[in-house]
Amino acid sequence: MEHLINTKVKEIEISGIRKFFNMVAGTEGMISLTIGQPDFPTPLHVKEAGKKAIDEDFTSYTHNAGDISLRKAASQYMKEKYSLNYQADSEVIVTAGASEAIDIAFRTILEEESEVILPGPVYPGYEPIIKLCGAKPVYADIRENGFRFTADVIESYITKQTRCIVLPYPSNPTGVSLSKQELLEISALLAEKDIFILADEIYSELVYDHQHVSIASFLRDQTIVINGLSKSHSMTGWRIGLLFAPETIAKHILKVHQYNVTCATSISQMAALEALTEGKNDALPMKEAYLERRNYVYNRLIQMGLEVQKPDGAFYFFVKLPTKHVSSFDFCLQLVREEKVAVVPGSAFSSYGEGYFRLSFACSMETLEEGLNRIEAYVKKVQG
């Protein structure tokens, strides 16, 4: 019966990140610097709120958009943190993780032959959904621009078919963010154009050298903001995402969300409510630890003679291969075989990621030190 499967589904593949992670998982003695999974536990008070929700039988459906108390908290959180104003009752949707938020946003705004401009390299979760919508992903090469997805780069890729620009910052896999000035220039370019902006800001609380600024501050009517608690509060498994958009857009996205998951899990919503109120600054001590790790990893990579840009945010380094004679996949595979340390091939982040590998520093200093020792030993071998 496989020949009857939707052609668009057959043409997409499992994420290259997961593919490589699954391939090395379970190998004895393996150090994995692959997945973007915070190594901190969910804060205790947030876990207690989840337990309390169960004990108090808060286990039924909520409003499709999410419990109103959580939406009010999310609205207040965005106002305090980023000076964004969204109406809790009509412009906030609680989703089953940021991934579902991305899915329902694309399915609402895209049609057959629509074009979506993405920075290349980029997180691999966008392209499959775009293609399932019958739309076309258009990659903008940002490799020679310091991995910065700026207005001058975007402008050269806009056509009459352009329906959406994806602004994922801080970026996965590069860790690069965008400055206020760069966002203002993008806003000036796109203002009054019939083009949506999907601003994936899931790492907004993990920006190290400056304050995160949202493009929704300047171009609210065209922007759909994606956020959530997975990275900021180490709540990946709770699956709570947040979508913010003007009511004229949000009311249509809500319809797709309703027929997709009905509502996000009620128990997780109560944990999220605690996170966004009593735990609104829980990310700060985590960010301090990540900053220390970032600086350590950067210094080690530079000492190895590797070409890399210091990330502004998130918890990744995107490192140029020390040799041009192998593909990123083969380099990473050989690193696994010879040194038992796993990183993600750059090719997992589109063809524009070829020639690089991604290293996650969302793990202990002890793990990073040993992992980098092994990488250094392998780099010395390949450099001869």
292-348 pLDDT, tens digit per residue, is: 999 999 999 999 999 999 999 999 999 999 988 899 999 999 999 999 999 999 999
Residue 28 has pLDDT above 90, yes or no: no
pLDDT, residue 323, reads 86
Residue 27 has pLDDT above 80, yes or no: no
List the one residue out of 119, 189, 116 whose CA is nearest residue 155. Answer: 189
CB 97 within 8 A of CB 89: no
Give the mean model confidence (pLDDT) for residues 9-22: 75
Q: In whole angstroms, give the CA distance from residue 229 to residue 277.
A: 12
pLDDT, residue 240, reads 98
pLDDT, residue 182, reads 98
- Amino acid letter, 81: K
Instruction: Dump pLDDT digits (tens) for 132-167.
Output: 999 999 999 999 999 999 999 999 999 999 999 999
More confident call, 259 vs 25? 259
**Helices vs strands, H then E, count in the chain:** 13, 12
pLDDT, residue 384, reads 66
pLDDT, residue 107, reads 98
Question: Among positive and negative, which fits the CA dihedral 125, 242, 240, 312?
Answer: positive
Confidence of residue 19 (pLDDT cuts 50, 70, 90): confident
116: which 2 tokens? 């979506």
Give the mean model confidence (pLDDT) for residues 2-26: 77
Task: Name which of 58-67, 70-79, 108-117, 329-338 the model is least confident about.
Answer: 329-338
Instruction: Dump pLDDT digits (tens) for 203-251.
Output: 999 999 999 999 999 999 999 999 999 999 999 999 999 999 999 999 9
* Mean pLDDT, rounded, of the chain: 95
Residue 93 has pLDDT above 80, yes or no: yes
Confidence of residue 2 (pLDDT cuts 50, 70, 90): confident
Model-level pTM? 0.96
121: which 2 tokens? 């390299």
pLDDT, residue 157, reads 98
In the chain, which ranges are E strands? 31-32, 92-95, 115-120, 136-141, 162-168, 196-200, 223-228, 241-244, 316-320, 341-342, 344-345, 356-360
pLDDT, residue 106, reads 98
Domains and CATH numbers, the chain: 2-42+282-383 (3.90.1150.10), 44-277 (3.40.640.10)
